Structure 1
Amino acid sequence: MQPFSYVRPDTIDEALRLGSQPGARYIGGGTNLIDLVKAGVEAPQRLVDVSRLPLAQVEALPDGGLRIGAMLTNTDAANQRLVRERYPLLAQALLSGASGQLRNMATVGGNLLQRTRCHYFYDTGFPACNKRKPGSGCGARDGINRMHAILGASEHCIAVHPSDMCVALAALEAVIVVRAPGGERRIRIADFHRLPEDKPEIDTTLAPGELVVALELPSSPYAAHAHYLKVRDRASFAFALVSVAAALEFSGHTVRSARLALGGVAHKPWRVPAAEQALTGRPLSAHSAAEAARLLLDGARSYEHNAFKVGLAQRAVVRALQVAARPQGA
């Protein structure tokens, strides 16, 4: 492991100054970054510890939305009253992630910034990984690719984004608030994570030195009808083969609006507006749910070991919509 320095700033401005210097990386709970450092995948020259900055507040917004500080732990976010009451989809997704011990350490901001999961990326014994070493190739394309992408991949990378939280945030249309020495900006969750294209080493649209300080959720009509479904190899501490965030708003028996996002299938949470539109203006039925699933998976491309994901994802979408249609707690 390469030596590095460690600093713990007292203010956000000091953190931004230190984090903007070459070779610096911010660290919160460290549940992803430290693993990467120990494995030799990441080699920061300086770790800037932002875990004790005053960024863990949860605030109700005037428009009925919610602002969640980036340093709030996943456990505290999932158990926060306003999150449970107004955004049960987010609470469910957070509680589906990792283990209780990791959720107690991992932060909301760090969850957003998890690196895509791929054993060819995490194991430096495999020389071919464009994410770790641009231009070296993608070992997963012709290797063991059971966990890998079926949507949005490129010839350069077929890894998938691992976060459960981000799938729910995509369905809820969250906004990420980031700070830099020059000021603050807001990034839609749909624009925060990148598809690999020809630069898979770049996971997000963050500029160097920018710090995630909060995420904001707009007022949501989906509290009564939402479900997060995670399909995985084991019920404890496993990444999703496929996950679905489904949220419905009803007017009587008619779907007034819908939100759908897939996880475990692409470099970022996957949404297709046409799939949501297929559900609106009519009662939810097996036919409309299957049509939404078909549209959401349109263009899917599988590899040698993950063809099962296409059918699995379609069935998971239908199941998640059926459960979401029931009132919360039913």
Structure 2
Amino acid sequence: MKEFAYVRAGSVEEATAAYVAHPGARYLGGGTNLVDLMKLGVETPAALVDVTRLPLDAVEELPDGGLRIGATVRNSDLAAHPLVRERYPALSRAVLAGASGQLRNAATTGGNLLQRTRCPYFQDLSKPCNKREPGSGCGAREGVHRDHAVLGHSPHCVATHPSDMAVALAALDGRVELSGPEGARSVAAADFHRLPGDRPERDTEIRPGELITGVVLPAATAGLPSAYRKARDRASYAFALASVAVVLRLEDGVTAQAGIAFGALAHRPWRARRAEEALIGAAPTTAAFEHAVDLELSAAQPLRDNGYKVPLARNLAVDVLSRLTGDALARSAS
């Protein structure tokens, strides 16, 4: 057992000050990922700054119709919130697709975004992993990598990000609110997580000492048809092999607005910008969907054993787009 200090913060300012005062500290929310990594010896924080008592546990309606979700809102409460279910159904469905009911009752919004990869090489101290120990190598690249990245990976890391929620937030144009020693700022959810490059140990764009205080969902995607779909090895309690979140607005028989993000294909939720651009102004047909998704996935670089992810993600996305536009057209006709 490695000893560590424990600080219970009463305010955001206390939390960030405690983090700065304890080099090597980590923020503790639900602990559903961090505590597991501590047990494995992957995470060895010098101090835990408990943020569970901070006043960040509310879902607030904004004047323009958007929502602000506090960082300590539990996943189960987020998925069940009436305004989330009504205005951003893809987010509710994504959260419900993750983990078990027991874990969702403990896990928080901020912690979900900060969870680390489930790559077995990262979790096994006896294996090389540049994310855990920079410069040690990537064991997965030539090893067991069926579940690993096909987009945006590098010679240094082929891990994927495990969050379902983050995929929906990326498609919905959410923003992550941060507070730290240098003040408050926000980052687009689609840009919050990083590609590995030559620094795979850095999962996000968060700066030292910064704390996630909330997530903002914009009015621009509120109430639009949206959906989340996940493919996995078993029906529940499994991380995605591929997933997709889609939000669309149809106008005069063509696609006027599109947000598409893939999960489990890259080191971060993969915002499908090329596919979105191809859809704008196009009629919502299967051929248009296939063309747009194929454009996006043309950048894929599968490894030896995970090439199946490309057609899997393609079929998921085309199916979600077809169902979503079919439902929207049916509603407008009625």
- Does TM, normalized by the shorter one, top 0.5? yes
- Cα distance in 2 for residues equivalent to 1:73 and 1:327: 30
Q: CA deviation at 1:19?
A: 1.4
- Cα distance in 1 for residues equivalent to 2:68 and 2:93: 18
Q: Aligned AA for 1:121?
A: F
- Cα distance in 1 for residues equivalent to 2:217 and 2:48: 29
Residues 134 and 201, structure 2, Cα contact 8 Å, conserved in 1: yes
- Corresponding residue of 1:311: 311
Q: Once the two structures are superposed, what CA deviation does each residue of 1:188-218 show, in whole Å capped at 9, x if it has no partner?
A: 1122111000010110111111100011111
- Cα distance in 2 for residues equivalent to 1:11 and 1:271: 34
- Cα distance in 1 for residues equivalent to 2:85 and 2:195: 31
Runs (4+) of structure 1 exceeding 6 A deviation are none
Residues 231 and 242, structure 1, Cα contact 8 Å, conserved in 2: yes
Q: Once the two structures are superposed, what CA deviation does each residue of 1:132-180 show, in whole Å capped at 9, x if it has no partner?
A: 1100000000001000000000000000000000000000111111111
- Corresponding residue of 2:198: 198
- Cα distance in 1 for residues equivalent to 2:135 and 2:126: 16
Q: Aligned AA for 2:238?
A: A
Report SS of the residue matched to 2:104.
helix
Residues 226 and 325, structure 1, Cα contact 8 Å, conserved in 2: no
- Cα distance in 1 for residues equivalent to 2:235 and 2:223: 25
Matches within 5 A, 1:17-28: 17-20=17-20, 21-28=22-29
User: Is the aligned partner of 1:215 residue 2:215?
Assistant: yes
- Corresponding residue of 1:68: 69
Residues 194 and 204, structure 1, Cα contact 8 Å, conserved in 2: yes
- Cα distance in 2 for residues equivalent to 1:222 and 1:27: 31
- Cα distance in 2 for residues equivalent to 1:315 and 1:176: 30
Q: Which moved more, 1:80-89 or 1:275-284?
A: 275-284
Report SS of the residue matched to 2:35.
helix
User: Is the aligned partner of 1:45 residue 2:60?
Assistant: no
Matches within 5 A, 1:1-330: 1-20=1-20, 21-126=22-127, 128-221=128-221, 223-327=223-327
Q: Aligned AA for 2:101?
A: G
Q: Residues 220 and 84 (structure 1 numbering): CA distance in 2 closer, same or farther, change over 3 Å? A: farther
Residues 180 and 210, structure 2, Cα contact 8 Å, conserved in 1: yes
- Cα distance in 2 for residues equivalent to 1:13 and 1:55: 13
Q: Aligned AA for 2:38?
A: V
Q: Aligned AA for 2:201?
A: E
- Cα distance in 2 for residues equivalent to 1:31 and 1:153: 26
Residues 172 and 221, structure 2, Cα contact 8 Å, conserved in 1: no
Question: Which of the pair is proportionally richer in helix?
Answer: 2
Q: CA deviation at 1:113?
A: 0.4
- Cα distance in 2 for residues equivalent to 1:276 and 1:263: 16
Residues 242 and 309, structure 1, Cα contact 8 Å, conserved in 2: yes
Q: CA deviation at 1:283?
A: 2.1
Q: Residues 288 and 247 (structure 1 numbering): CA distance in 2 closer, same or farther, change over 3 Å? A: same
Residues 222 and 249, structure 1, Cα contact 8 Å, conserved in 2: no
The alignment covers a number of residue pairs equal to 329
- Cα distance in 1 for residues equivalent to 2:271 and 2:11: 37
Q: State the percentage of identical aligned residues.
A: 53
- Cα distance in 2 for residues equivalent to 1:223 and 1:292: 24
Residues 262 and 272, structure 2, Cα contact 8 Å, conserved in 1: no
- Cα distance in 1 for residues equivalent to 2:163 and 2:117: 9
- Cα distance in 2 for residues equivalent to 1:122 and 1:45: 19
Q: CA deviation at 1:227?
A: 1.2
Q: CA deviation at 1:326?
A: 3.6
- Cα distance in 1 for residues equivalent to 2:299 and 2:283: 27
- TM-score, normalised on structure 2? 0.95
Q: CA deviation at 1:60?
A: 1.3
Q: Aligned AA for 1:230?
A: K
Q: CA deviation at 1:182?
A: 3.2
Residues 276 and 292, structure 2, Cα contact 8 Å, conserved in 1: yes
Q: CA deviation at 1:259?
A: 1.1
- Cα distance in 2 for residues equivalent to 1:183 and 1:15: 13
Report SS of the residue matched to 2:132.
coil
Q: Aligned AA for 1:170?
A: A
Q: Once the two structures are superposed, what CA deviation does each residue of 1:246-286 show, in whole Å capped at 9, x if it has no partner?
A: 11111243222111100000000112322112222132111
Report SS of the residue matched to 1:327.
helix
- Cα distance in 2 for residues equivalent to 1:44 and 1:70: 21
